[in-house]
Structure 1
Amino acid sequence: MTSIDLNADLGEGFGRWRLTDDEQLLSVVTSANVACGFHAGDPVTMRRVCELAAGRGVRIGAQVSYRDLAGFGRRAMDVPPGELAAEVAYQIGALGVFARAAGTRVSYVKPHGALYNRIVHDEEQARAVVDGVRLADAGLPVLGLPGSRFLALAGEAGLPTVTEAFADRAYTDEGTLVPRGRDGAVITDGDAVVERSVGLARSGTVVSRSGKRVPVHARSLCLHGDTPGAVELARRVRAALTSSGVRVEAFA
């Protein structure tokens, strides 16, 4: 039977402000990408989400980012490689404290936003992220875009790699994500997102923005938690996957 992991970005609040419905999303997903304080999140939020995830048997992942709270980690930044590696390790380590306190651990790492997209092609920044992950834990799996330099370098460094797809993001003909600043970059039609989710899981393909069918072989599917109606859409996606014969489970 075909299987796929469902991940979502959680803990994306700060202080009294909350963006994601963490508790409800944790009843749907199998992996939780927890913001580590650089693009969102704070110690109290990180601890709370780790405790909720541990109680539901959901894997905890460190969602590392450029240091960009004001821009939600979605602004392009130039960070020296040594500094970026240290900041990646710092974020993983901070989340690890709360994961261990909740009786579990950080099980993987996923870059966020501008950093995620930058390391698809940028060799220097990708290597810095790999160095940061290895500094924190040389055995941690990493999530990334299929064909990215990040996953290639991570594999060369001995890190387990997990390919990821996005049902609610538009793709280019090359299999990369259409930048968020462009029209149509985020797919808001719920029916389309559900249909794309099943297609990605069963056929390993997605229709690009230009109408071309593009191969995207992914072991994990991201459901964004910061979009309107995110919880209900996540439930619909999981139900559709199950009814189409896809087993939803955390990646091995």
Structure 2
Amino acid sequence: MHGSVGQIRSVLPELVRAELGANVAVCVPYPYLSLAKSLLADTPIQLGAQDLCEHHIGAYTGEVSGAMLADVGCEMVIVGHSERRNYFAETSETAARKVKAALDAGLWPVYCVGETQQQRADGVARDVIADELKVLAGVPTSLYAVAYEPSWAVGTGVVATPEQIAEMHAFIKQTLSPHTCVLYGGSVKGTNAAQTMATDGVDGVLVGGAALSATEFLRICRAAH
């Protein structure tokens, strides 16, 4: 929950001017989606939202449906982010319904999974991830991406080691399919992006706070290229 009209107008044109070679998408807060779409028109940069409602239409005041997101030009949406799970009591069951809603609207869901520090210390990280991945059972791998974001590394400045990342990404691909697109999210910034993306099994990154700075986000995008 960051941003303003001024920030959107400052950051996005810089991304457009950079003519990035990597696949890049930005997921901005709901009020700025139409503005972002206009600034990204005729560019390969994709637009996404940070969440969606599990319901398609109806008396759900304050919610935003997948069809509405598609209507204003969104191509993708984040589902099940750790902050949604931690602060808004979202469960994997909720996420499953949101994934279906996204697919029904023709959106590409980026489904987030990850364990807490305590769960990792208890040796149940794989069990937690396996349970969260059940949401995607039966969904063709070309229709979504998985973002591995250990909650102990989100917004903390702590980044999982390449060994930890490689191990969990391999487990996710083993559980779903070797062709699954798996992103890493967790305090990704310009100084660690290249190493993270060079790690086995990492197909890209889900960037948080670093994307608020055009300079920092461009460093990450160029590392991907």
Match of 1:153 among 112, 135, 148: 135
User: Which residue number corresponds to residue 222 of structure 1?
Assistant: 206
Distance 1:31 1:117 in 2: 27
Deviation at 1:240? Answer: 3.9
CA distance in 1, matches of 2:147, 2:96: 19
Supply the RMSD in Å over aligned alpha carbons. 4.0
Match of 1:231 among 214, 217, 222: 214
Residue 110 of structure 1 is matched in structure 2 by 78
2:150 maps to 1:176? yes
User: Are the aligned partners of 1:32 and 1:61 in contact in 2 as well (CA < 8 Å)?
Assistant: yes
Mapped partners of 2:96, 2:199: distance in 1: 31
Structure 1 pair 141–155 and aligned structure 2 pair: CA distance change class (3 A): farther
- Work out whether residues 33 and 110 of structure 1, in 8 Å CA contact, stay in contact via their aligned partners in 2: no
Aligned to 1:22: 12
Contact 2:103 2:109 in 1 (8 A): no
Q: How far did residue 150 of structure 1 move? A: 5.2
For 1:4-153, list aligned pairs within 5 A: 13=3, 18=7, 21-26=11-16, 27=18, 28=20, 30-35=23-28, 40-42=29-31, 45-64=32-51, 84-86=53-55, 90-99=64-73, 106-111=74-79, 112=81, 114-115=83-84, 122-137=91-106, 140-145=107-112, 147=129, 149=131, 151-153=133-135
The aligned amino acid for 2:30 is: G
Q: CA deviation at 1:94?
A: 2.0
Contact (CA 8 Å) 1:92, 1:136: kept in 2 or not?
A: yes
Q: Contact 2:111 / 2:145 at 8 angstroms: preserved in 1?
A: yes
In structure 2, C-alpha distance between the alignment counterparts of 1:51 and 1:150, rounded to whole Å:
35
Q: Offset at 1:145?
A: 3.5
Question: Would the aligned equivalents of 1:145 and 1:176 in 2 still touch at CA under 8 Å?
Answer: no
Q: Secondary structure at the match of 1:54?
A: coil
Query: Which has the higher relative contact order, 1 or 2, with Cα contacts under 8 A spaced 6 or more apart?
Result: 1
Q: How many residues align?
A: 171
SS, match of residue 152 in structure 2: coil
| Deviation at residue 179 of structure 1 after TM alignment | 6.6
Structure with higher strand content: 1
Matched with 2:196 is 200
Q: Could you tell me which amino acid in structure 1 is paired with residue 44 of structure 2?
A: G
Give the Cα separation in 1 of the matches to 2:112 and 2:145: 9
Deviation (angstroms), 1:85: 0.9
Distance 1:150 1:61 in 2: 22
Q: Is the 8 A contact 2:152 2:158 kept in 1?
A: yes
Contact 1:163 1:219 in 2 (8 A): no
TM-score normalized with structure 2 length: 0.56
- Is 1:163 paired with 2:146? yes
CA contact (8 A) 2:147 2:206 kept: yes
Shift of 1:86: 1.1
The residue aligned with 1:208 is none
Q: Which runs of 5+ in 2 are unaligned?
A: 58-62, 114-128, 161-187
Residue in structure 2 matched with residue 172 of structure 1 by the alignment:
none
Please state whether the residue corresponding to 2:30 is helix, strand or coil.
coil
Structure with more of its chain in helix, by fraction: 2
Q: Which amino acid aligns with 1:32?
A: A
User: Deviation of residue 220 (structure 1)?
Assistant: 2.5
State, as a whole percentage, how many aligned pairs show the same letter: 13
Change (3 A) 1:116 1:219: farther
